[in-house]
Structure 1
Amino acid sequence: MANPDFKSALIIVDVQEDFCPPNGTLAVPNARSIIPTINHLLALPFPLKVATKDWHPANHTSFSSTHPGTHPFTSTTTITTPIGSYETKLWPDHCIQGTPGAELLPSLSLSRIDRVVEKGQRQDIEMYSAFYDPHKCVDSGLKGILEREAVTDVFVVGLAFDYCVRATAVDAAAEGFRTWVVGEATRAVDAAGWDEVVGDLKEKGVQVVSVDGEEVARVTGGK
């Protein structure tokens, strides 16, 4: 009998060509090495499997090219919303709508994915989290999808650990889902900061767990 207190969802964050070596414009080191682990997770009986995509317009505010005189990775810009403003780092152009760089990796078990959520579509708003931007001006609809499916536990994987995976996991926990990041199924832009991110996630109610741990085992009925 199904456990009414445990219904899991797998969220695969931004495993797109532009985030992967050797040709991605914003390639995360060793990003492709997580694919076998993600495909293993996709083969498990998660009731819901969602992939997310950065899906930017060509002149997105997070692109250094949109701001003359700036440099990717080191420059920032100020994003202003009705709620206030916040600083965001500038990046190379990446994941532009309809381009090959925005596509999910074909080596993923794409046929096992139930839904694809596209984020970062508004030109003037940066959106790391797959739920919404920092000021909640833009809602991707992911929260509603999870709630309609009565999900209790969210397992987050993908790219990158220190940016979009982190933000997605923090928002999932803040929305009341028990939230886990599967460590073997994510990679960071800055691997040196891994432990710091793990600590920050723990403070915000998110645990980084192993693919072989008891948390993932619950998906298959294990304890």
Structure 2
Amino acid sequence: MAEPNFQPALLVIDMQEDFCPPNGALAIPDGRSIIPLINTLLALPTLPLKIATKDWHPPNHISFRTSHPPPQGSHLNTTTTTTITNPLNPAETYTTRLWPPHCIQSTPGAALVPELDRAALTHTIEKGTDARLEMYSAFYPPLQDPRVGDSGLAALLRAHGTTHVYVVGLAGDYCVRRTAEDAVREGFVAYVIEEGTRAVDREGWEGCKREMEGAGVQVVAWEGREVRRLFVE
């Protein structure tokens, strides 16, 4: 029997062509391998709210190396960063990594992968639409004074009485992580299903998990009780 205080939702983060092999502009190794697991979750009646997110960047997005002059904006596959300023408060800034252009609005690379059971999704949220702001989290950019770029995800979850969110998708150490951490900040219980994500930096994944757990996120196994409870109505 379902628990009266257990109202789960599924967040499927950025399962887009540009994040998946073989041709993605920013392909995460083995990114496509998690699709069957995600489709299994999408088929569950115990998850009435099934939300996909998409990076939906304008061509001049600030996270693109091509949007910056050299050497910061080097087109080489090197790790560089830039500083982003809150457009409503010049005193608030954060540093973000630069990437190759990816998930540009209305391009094939921005599409959800066709193997994903898209018909089972109840909602799709586009993020990273403001050229001035990086937005790993599906909730909002990491700016608080004042908050800018709210996607409406928290309000959507609350409107459906959600208490717990299960987070899967790409990439585990960036958008999945930041979404899960912000879910905790918003008052939800947040689970990252480890088998349902892949990381950009595989070697750093164990450390990333520890940091997520330190922020209150629970990184759980597919065979663990937190996921198994979804299979019992």
Q: Same fold (TM over 0.5)?
A: yes
The answer to whether residue 74 in structure 2 is matched with residue 75 in structure 1 is no
- 1:4 deviates by 2.4
Offset of 1:134 from its aligned partner? 0.1
- Per-residue CA deviations over 1:27-68 (Å, capped at 9, x if unaligned) read 101100101111111111201000000000000000000002
Deviation, 1:73, is 4.3
Corresponding residue of 2:3: 3
Q: 1:167, 1:202 → 2: CA distance?
A: 12
Q: 206, 217, 223: which one pairs with 2:228? A: 217
Deviation at 1:104, TM superposition (A): 0.3
2:206 matched to 1:201?
no
The one-letter code sitting in structure 1 at the alignment partner of 2:13 is V
Q: How much has 1:2 moved relative to structure 2? A: 4.5
Match 2:173 to one of 153, 157, 162:
162
**1:1-223 maps to which residues of 2 (within 5 A)?**
2-45=2-45, 46-69=47-70, 70-71=73-74, 73-81=78-86, 82=89, 84-135=92-143, 136-221=147-232
Residue by residue over 1:191-213, the C-alpha shift from the partner in whole angstroms, topping out at 9 and shown as x without a partner, is: 10111011011111111111221
> Percent identity at matched positions?
55
CA distance in 2, matches of 1:126, 1:79: 8
| Aligned partners of 1:170 and 1:204 also within 8 Å | yes
| Structure 2, unpaired ranges of 5+ | none
* Distance in 1, Cα, partners of 2:15 & 2:37: 13
User: Hey, what's the Cα distance between the residues in 1 that align with 2:99 and 2:134?
Assistant: 11
CA distance, structure 1, for counterparts of residue 36 and residue 78 of structure 2: 29
For residue 11 of structure 1, report the CA deviation from its aligned partner.
Answer: 0.1
**Structure 1: unaligned runs, 5 residues or longer:** none
Letter in 1 for 2:134: E
Question: How far apart, CA to CA, are the structure 2 residues paired with 1:55 and 1:137?
Answer: 17
SS in 2 for 1:57: coil
Aligned to 1:41, what secondary structure does the other structure show?
helix
Q: Secondary structure at the match of 1:86?
A: strand
Q: Which runs of 4+ in 1 moved over 2 A?
A: 1-4
Letter in structure 2 aligned against 1:118:
E
SS at the partner of 2:182?
Answer: helix
User: Following TM superposition, by how much is the alpha carbon of 1:3 offset from its aligned partner in structure 2, in angstroms?
Assistant: 2.8
Letter in structure 1 aligned against 2:28: V
TM-score normalised according to structure 1 size: 0.96
TM-superposed deviation, 1:221: 2.7
TM-score (norm 2): 0.92
Secondary structure of 1:162's aligned partner: coil
The aligned length equals 222
- The code of the aligned residue for 2:41 comes to L
User: What is the RMSD of the two structures over their aligned residues, measured on CA atoms?
Assistant: 1.2
Q: How far, CA to CA, are the matches of 1:47 and 1:218 in structure 2?
A: 14
Which residue identity does 2:211 align to in structure 1? D
Look up the SS of the partner of 1:169 in the other structure.
helix
